[in-house]
Structure 1
Amino acid sequence: MKAKDTTNIWLDIGKAAEVLGLSVQTVKKQCRKGSFVFKIIKRGKQSHYFIHLKSLPDFAQDKYSGEKISDKKYSEAPNWAKEQAEKYLPILKASNGLKGEALKDFINKWNNENTEELRTSYSSLIKMRRRFFRYGISGLLSKHGQHLTGSTVPDNYFEYFKNLYLVEGAPSLRTCWDLTLGYAIRMLDAKRETFPSFMAFKRRLDKEVPKQSIYLARMGETAWNRKYGGYIERDYSNIICNEVWVSDHAQIDVACFDSDNKVVFPWVTVWRDYKSGKWLGWILQSGNPNSDHIFQSFYYAAEKYGLPKDVIIDNGKDYRSKDFAGGSRSIKISTNKTKTQS
């Protein structure tokens, strides 16, 4: 019997939802996410979705065409991959129709009567039921899909896609996929119907390029270092409260009106205790922070809590001023000796 040619078959969304076992709305959402190859045809004021058959999972193609693609995959699978399927086939058959407490009772009885290798759990059995329903017997194979087929994205498409996506400030993954599709149609005579889906590109990218490498390429070294860069944790065990202070500026993400009735996002300059994190002295201002704000907030902290033994400051310009780094200017702060020693 001659096999059906499925290279250019488009299913209306109702039929696609039927073979997928999903609602029409869910299929539409998956289309917009790039899970399937689809097209929209306007008929009057209504938009009709059509989905390319070859972009659907194998189990859906099986249902539509009547062919057993999944069974063929099982027969071609290595023996080590079949062991899991051979374990679950009798369990699925024996537990057919059971659910809830009845299924849990069956699992307990099964586990008591069988060896460790044949035992299962409620969550594992539910997962295998779902796989068996969707993919047939090949869904029960160990690591289904990872050793049976490679990526559907050809190397030349993928290299062009990476050159677009893995660049600092590059557009979104979906936009890069659209650009790759346009390039393939113009330069390589590709067809929209057989072009790999957006999700196929994403899966290959996630599989071949580490997450940190993607972040570095797209966000830059500074952003990567803040998120993934190595660091050494400080040892707080030998530090006594109020002996070491730290200071920094931060802009508050709250819009306010200043004295001139202008909208501003105020800055806060803070000195806090390094050990406990307690705020000791701070000052709010609408303009850009400077060394005067640093000293004013330090004065508030020292007046109330006394002087610290050490301070930790960053390498900002205002903290590198002569007032902190050394110079002729001197700052006198009157403090309560009792508070300093407490």
Structure 2
Amino acid sequence: MVGEILLNLQDVAELEDKSWEAINKSVRRGKINAIKIETNARCGFEYRVNLDELSDKAKAKYFARLKGNEQLAIPDIIDDNEVYNLEDLTAEQRDQAFYWEGVLKEYKSYIRDCFKNKTEKTEEFVNVFNAKNKTNLTVRTLYDKQKMYKKYGAAALADGRKAREKRGHKIDERVWSIFLQWWLDENQRSVSYVYTVLSRYVSDHEELSMLKLPSEPTFRRAVEELPKPVIKFFREGNKAFEDDCLPYIIRTYENIYSNDFWSSDYHTLDMMVRDDITGEVYRPHIVGWIDIRSRKILSMRLRKESDSDGVVLSFRDAALKYGLPSKVYLDNGREFLTYAFGGRGKRKDGSASNYGTNILDRIGVEMVNAIVKNAKAKVVERIFKQVTSEFAKLFITYCGNRPGNRPERHNKVLKNVDNIPYASEIKEELLAYVEGWYNLKSSKAEGLKGKCPNECYSSLLVNKRKITDDQANILLTRNERKQSVDRNGVYVKVGTEKVWFYDAEFVALYQGQKVYARFDPDELTSIRVYDEHEKFLTVLDRAAEGGYEGVADTEAMKKVNSDKKKVKTIVKNFIENKEKIMEAPEMRDVVINIARQNIENDNSTYDADILEGMFINENIDYKKAVGDVEVNFSKMIENAKKQKEKDGN
């Protein structure tokens, strides 16, 4: 029986290795006997727990602290149902496990032919080991490690304290759910502001008021561990979520020929030009066609407006020079989906589907429409954006792609009409730039392998590169470089090619985090993924790849659409699960209620110790009421005196 030693709840929590909230809940439910002591706390009292109420482990830790002897501290109690696996450990923890396994093997070999008392032999081993390795190994530690090794294997020898510290934050799940419902909002409230309001709300809440709210940095660290897709969806909106977090179709180029696919697009040129005839100053549009396999620009026209005529004329220019493509890959804009050129595509309906034969049908060219809002798959958009930006910046009338990027001199330049080039000059120089600069510049784009577009186009590389035995021999069983989980998953490089692997749930929870990939070079159907500490996470299967035609493309689209739905469902369910724990009130209501309470409790007075009056200056000269004759008061007084003296006589 330990004497009367009373401890506060925080000390009890530390001794029992539990949270303050858990100890407080046990006390209030009567699981731990405690007494109330009057204090200056918010509720007027605090709980005190007798040391006798604590577990034997906690008591030992308490007396160990008093004596300053760390060896009396009892090691962590291990759950018999817990399964230990080396892959569940970080690389640092595995090194620790292997180290202790070596120590135990050395100890076993040392006492194998023991003629002395085993205890004496063990103490002798510890002394020899410490002298040789300059360590502080104790007999008790050695026995503890031996016991763990026999019961759970090598994985149990690792020190798990650091891992336990990183498993989570000591934030009550109800408080955390309210915080997330307020913070995960498109208004993008700051952590500091939400924490301030949350602190006041918790203190005024009957059920939560007894909780000890963690510090603001704790919430900041917890927020940093939220999945990137969750933050994108709830704080930046669905558009940002779909653009940055959902997978897109990975196009391959090795299995198509030059002239198999052409693509076209309109783009606004970031400069001002002058009409040759009317002198009108305007910002021109360019329309052109590229060969998707080689990314070669086949034709380009300068237009005052974006219309279907420019599409047809520029297509004709390319066809006359380079022949006809097998298929064209077009945007869903009104300029391309016209009845005359290629038909209405996906926009056609029952009343408009039976129109006459269009141009592409007559020449035997099939039209393929891009997926709406799938800019990643539209190669032509990226190429034209690059070309128009580089070319426009060569001229003094460059105006930027938006007002914020406009040069300061822009308006001054336009005041002098001689500074503005004619449209015909720009057309000629644009064609020279395309043919003599862009098409002849080497590129590292996928499939070009350092060649320029003209070289790739003429070489007609049509076969997808196969992995040879020599290439397979240079593959490692681990990708030596860390990579961030992309919205398309994780990749490994085979030669110069990226092979992608994907799982919707994994990407939803780990996107943006650093990982390693391990794989079998003879079997690239799946890979094993580890975090940056080399702790095993999951197995990913190879992602579906699509081209620009055929069954493979259709199946890839189906797979990507299915994965998009899975990712969005996982992200949406994230906040819904938090709401089930405890529904948060409207943050606006909480702030206004707090403000009104502050007004009611405001006892400020505005009485000053000294009151100062406002006095009128008596020396003010007033204007005469009537007349303009000046009154001589001195003479009047003198006459009055004379009159008084006269009356006295």
TM-score bin (small chain): 0.3 to 0.5
- State TM-score, norm by structure 2: 0.28
Structure 1-normalised TM-score?
0.47
Greater relative contact order (Cα 8 A, min sep 6): structure 1 or 2?
2
Please identify the structure whose Cα radius of gyration is greater: 2
